[in-house]
Structure 1
Amino acid sequence: MFILYLLIFLFGTIIGSFLNVVIYRLPRNESIVYPSSHCTKCKNELKPYDLVPIFSYIILKGRCRYCGNKISVKYPLVEIIAGLMYLVLFIYFGFSIELLFYLFLLSLLIVIAFIDIEHKIIPNKIILTGLIVGAIFRVLMLNYGVWDYVIGFVLGGGVLLLISLLSGGGMGGGDIKLMAMIGLFIGWKLTLLTLFIAALLGAVGGIILIALKIKTRKDYIPFGPYISAACIISILYGYNLLNLYIKLITG
């Protein structure tokens, strides 16, 4: 079993390495296929031994082999997060169609979170890709019900759209589209829970960032990473949390 878990983790880090390419190139309107991986500073093409997830960063001591410039710690961080979360989802869902579905969603959320942190945008291409895949999956899984997910789509985007209208644009359009996409993936019950958890995480995260003077009250704080984290929490523990809440209010 340990070997299987290790393989799943390593597979996740490989996917994470590809996600790094998407995170870097997509906001710059560059192809994620061509040219091959290269140093963003000196443009030297990277060899296979420069691209081993996590280990290459450690061996190279966080610097480019060719020009010596620092490599952002973001790269191994994305690979570690992807590897760990792929393993967690595998442990939770096992070998199943659901696993593939949620691994795909996880990969999108990682890309969205890191792009939003760095560029303060959520690319429409990622959202559109998620909507297409989510819709196809729900059609294929029609026997398991579809209205929960249609309502999730409308509710996820609708709640944030309403907040945006009432607050005079306090909620970004990317966040609205992201929640609509998530609603299509996880259904309306977990969508509502995701909104609640995201608001809670956002409030706590904002307070910490302001307390540490990383941000000020006037600074824009990306909400996409909090939505992404809340979505994963809901997928893994959502129904347990909902059942606990029902028990608390019913005594």
Structure 2
Amino acid sequence: MPPIYYLFLGFAFVFGAVVGSFLNVCIYRIPAGESVVSPRSRCPRCGSLIRWYQNIPILSWLFLRGRCANCRTRISPRYVLVEALTGLLFVLVLRDFGIHWATPVFWVFIALLVTITFIDLDHQIIPDVISLPGIVIGFGASFLLPWVSWSDSLLGILLGGGSLFLVAVGYEFLTKKEGMGGGDIKLLAMLGAFLGWKAVLPIIFVSSLLGTLVGVPLMLAKGSDGKLAIPFGPFLAAAAVIWLFWGEFLADWYLQRFL
């Protein structure tokens, strides 16, 4: 590969890490109903402003050894995880889609998924302020992507939202308990908007498989009498990422092996 190729990939990682830094703000502030624009970032304990050179993605956390520069309060390593994860996923998008409209489209898609994942892990909610605009953005993006037509996107929205809605209604009817929140339904509608209707059922299957592989051991570890609420949004997001990067390969593999 020519050096310029690796230069572009490096740019994608740095840009993704910067976006990840902003996503950390969104993850913290959106559930609290706060503005993601102002005020400037502060230490939650001592209230000191975080200066620009203390807010360089990944590097500042390493340089400060994971502590506030003023009061030395420990800063969670998850901030670095979000930045590094976003940077890595941005690299994969650029690697797979190159210089094309799809790259900024799926960068936005990845940013939405990362934000939703960590908010759902923290609060077990998927804010409408993220998923509903995401549906609109995904549908609008279908006019820029040659392999996802507007009709594929529209069907993806209807199939994604409709399928989980039916599952949720059926589960509640049989068990008299709410098993799936409306946020998951809107999230799958958003995934269908970006990826098209063909991705919906594989995403449901893979996310259910991942949820089982993670949830069952956790439930066994907690004990039969314990109540364990596991958010489903992160599994949907992970399945969507798997489909985005490896969906075609996995579909071909499945067809060759089992059909």
Compute the displacement of 1:159 (Å). 1.3
Compute the displacement of 1:74 (Å). 1.3
Instruction: Calculate the aligned-residue CA RMSD, in Å.
Output: 1.9
Compute the displacement of 1:211 (Å). 4.6
Contact 2:139 2:154 survives alignment (8 Å): no
Aligned to 2:197: 188
Moved more, 43-52 or 105-114: 43-52
Contact 1:209 1:215 survives alignment (8 Å): no
Aligned to 1:224: 233
Q: 1:20 to 1:216 in 2, by over 3 A?
A: farther
Compute the displacement of 1:214 (Å). 10
Structure 1 segments, 4+ long, off by >6 Å, are none
Superposition map of 1:144-223 within 5 A: 145-168=149-172, 169-213=178-222, 218-223=227-232
What residue identity is the alignment partner of 1:84? L
Q: 1:143 to 1:177 in 2, by over 3 A?
A: closer
Compute the displacement of 1:132 (Å). 2.0
Superposition map of 1:45-84 within 5 A: 45-84=49-88
Contact 1:210 1:216 survives alignment (8 Å): no
1:162-193: CA deviation from partner (whole Å, max 9, x where unpaired): 11111112111110110011101101111111
1:109-132: CA deviation from partner (whole Å, max 9, x where unpaired): 000000000011000000122122
Compute the displacement of 1:143 (Å). 9.1
Compute the displacement of 1:52 (Å). 0.7
1:66-97: CA deviation from partner (whole Å, max 9, x where unpaired): 11111111100100100111111111111110
Cα distance between partner residues in 2 of 1:132 and 1:148: 14
Compute the displacement of 1:248 (Å). 2.4
- TM-score, length of structure 1 as denominator length: 0.94
What residue identity is the alignment partner of 2:251? L
Compute the displacement of 1:215 (Å). 11
Aligned to 2:252: 243
Q: Are positions 1:106 and 2:99 aligned together?
A: no
- TM-score, length of structure 2 as denominator length: 0.91
Moved more, 37-46 or 176-185: 37-46
Superposition map of 1:124-163 within 5 A: 124-140=128-144, 145-163=149-167
Percent of aligned positions with the same letter in both sequences?
39
Q: Are positions 1:233 and 2:242 aligned together?
A: yes
Cα distance between partner residues in 2 of 1:89 and 1:223: 24
What residue identity is the alignment partner of 1:201? L
Q: 1:145 to 1:5 in 2, by over 3 A?
A: closer
1:42-76: CA deviation from partner (whole Å, max 9, x where unpaired): 22111111101111111111111111111111100
Which of 88, 91, 115 lines up with 1:87 in the alignment? 91
Structure 2 unaligned blocks of 5 or more: 173-177
Q: 1:144 to 1:220 in 2, by over 3 A?
A: closer
Contact 2:16 2:86 survives alignment (8 Å): yes
Contact 2:101 2:144 survives alignment (8 Å): no
What residue identity is the alignment partner of 2:216? I
Contact 1:155 1:183 survives alignment (8 Å): yes
